[in-house]
Amino acid sequence: MIAVMIAGATSMVVSLVGTRFLISFFRNRGKGQPILGKEDRGPEHHMSKQGTPTMGGLAIIVAAFAGWLMAHLRDRLAFSDQAMIIWCGVLIMAFMGFLDDYIKITKAHNRGIFWKRKSWITLALAIGVAAWLVAGTGISETLSTTRATYPGWTLHSVVWIVWAGVIIWATTNAVNVTDGLDGLAGGSAMMGFVAFAIIGYWAFRNPDIYGAVVNPLDLATVAAGFAGACAGFLWFNAAPARIFMGDVGALGVGSALALLSLGTNTQMLLLLICGINVMEAGSVAVQMGVFKASGRKKRLFRMSPIHHHFELLGWPETTVIIRFWIIQGACVALALALFIGDFTRLEGLR
């Protein structure tokens, strides 16, 4: 538990300092986030945010990594292959986001050259990371909810790799879609990482039940590091935001959430742990489906993702954010209740 707390506290401090540095760095160079306007069917009501420093996700990732490293100063915590591959996966996806952010800033337009191909590129990268996990670790290749043996359907390695790659790809895109209001993505992700820190530590304390998790304590410190980093970032990202997460943060944070779910054998539970992200990405899919089915004439929502729909209904931005945070908190609480409930049931059978 001490290692988990060290990771969280260290990353929060580093994130606070790092985010403040990035704000000054980008402001001094006159570089900020471009916003989609009317010509791109973007949220015109957010045009006042144009020029706000972005790429704050750099501070989140650096801070989370620093907290994870600091936790390993304790002799009892070893570096695990799985955690290191997870970190490589996060850095790969974050670098993809960094390239897109850099192009947006230099071109002063909110669509980088990757915007039409980014989805396919990130999917290929995600499948590659999943294949690396299978080749480099003893990760369980089952369809799982709260543990590897529940429901415990063993998948062929190729099928599991594709399945895991889709999970990583979908989660990164879902977090990216959620990152449209000040603090919404960061606050939601922080709750998810807290859940994974609890799950990882619980698995560490109960190896008889969660023996399929490879070095769960190390995974818990990764999650705690990201939770603390998101908390520090929120100090400056909360409405009105002084800096945005950017694609580098959204893709890095999203991949970390997905990879932690794979590492802790809680893939299906991720639907609840990332509940608000599922709702946001789902609203985009539904909007596109209705629009195309109607011959490009009708839309279900005034604008997607759904947080813009509620803004256009007259809800203040802060109201949307706080209510969505409440929904996310309820989803995370339900996910943990299912996880602990399954553990309690197994304990009662022994």
pLDDT band at 32 (very low <50, low <70, confident <90, very high): low
pLDDT band at 289 (very low <50, low <70, confident <90, very high): confident
Say if 213 falls within a structural domain. yes
> Which of 8-17, 145-154, 224-233 bottoms out in mean pLDDT, i.e. has the lowest?
145-154
Q: Where are the alpha helices (DSSP H) in the chain?
A: 2-28, 57-71, 81-107, 118-136, 157-178, 184-205, 216-237, 246-263, 270-273, 275-293, 306-312, 317-349
* C-alpha span between 279 and 174 (Å, rounded): 9
Answer yes or no: is pLDDT of 68 > 90: yes
Answer yes or no: is pLDDT of 104 > 50: yes
Say if 145 falls within a structural domain. yes
Closest Cα partner for 204 from 61, 350, 2, 63?
A: 2
Say if 182 falls within a structural domain. yes
Q: Is 321:184 a contact under the CB 8 Å cutoff? A: yes
Closest Cα partner for 321 from 135, 179, 118, 205?
A: 179
Answer yes or no: is pLDDT of 183 > 70: yes
Tokens describing residue 139: 């990760």
Instruction: Please name the residue that has the structure tokens 């790799």.
Output: 161
Tokens describing residue 280: 């946001």
Predicted confidence at residue 172, as pLDDT, reads 95
* 167, 6, 94, 32: CA torsion to nearest 10: 130
Predicted confidence at residue 39, as pLDDT, reads 52
Closest Cα partner for 257 from 225, 212, 211?
A: 225
What is the rounded average pLDDT for all residues in the chain? 89
Q: Which is higher by pLDDT, 287 or 328? A: 328
* C-alpha span between 122 and 169 (Å, rounded): 6
> Which of 97-106, 165-174, 179-188 bottoms out in mean pLDDT, i.e. has the lowest?
97-106
| Residue range of the domain that includes 238 | 2-269
Say if 143 falls within a structural domain. yes
H or E element in which residue 145 lies: strand 142-147
Say if 326 falls within a structural domain. no
Whole-structure pTM value = 0.92
> Which of 20-34, 49-63, 213-227, 319-333 bottoms out in mean pLDDT, i.e. has the lowest?
20-34
Q: Is 263:219 a contact under the CB 8 Å cutoff? A: yes
* 310, 312, 315, 321: CA torsion to nearest 10: 50
Say if 180 falls within a structural domain. yes
Answer yes or no: is pLDDT of 220 > 90: yes
Q: Is 305:183 a contact under the CB 8 Å cutoff? A: no
Q: What is the pLDDT of residues 78-102, one digit of tens each?
A: 888 999 999 999 999 999 999 888 8
Q: What is the largest CA-CA distance in the chain?
A: 63
Predicted confidence at residue 40, as pLDDT, reads 47
Predicted confidence at residue 36, as pLDDT, reads 55
Q: What is the pLDDT of residues 186-216, one digit of tens each?
A: 999 999 999 999 999 999 999 999 988 988 9
Predicted confidence at residue 75, as pLDDT, reads 65
* C-alpha span between 210 and 51 (Å, rounded): 48
Other Cβ atoms within 10 Å of 265 Cβ, number: 27
Say if 263 falls within a structural domain. yes
Number of domains, the chain: 1
Other Cβ atoms within 10 Å of 300 Cβ, number: 15
* First and final C-alpha spacing in the chain: 26
Q: What is the pLDDT of residues 244-279, one digit of tens each?
A: 999 999 999 999 999 999 999 999 999 999 999 999
Predicted confidence at residue 47, as pLDDT, reads 56
Answer yes or no: is pLDDT of 350 > 90: no
Say if 349 falls within a structural domain. no
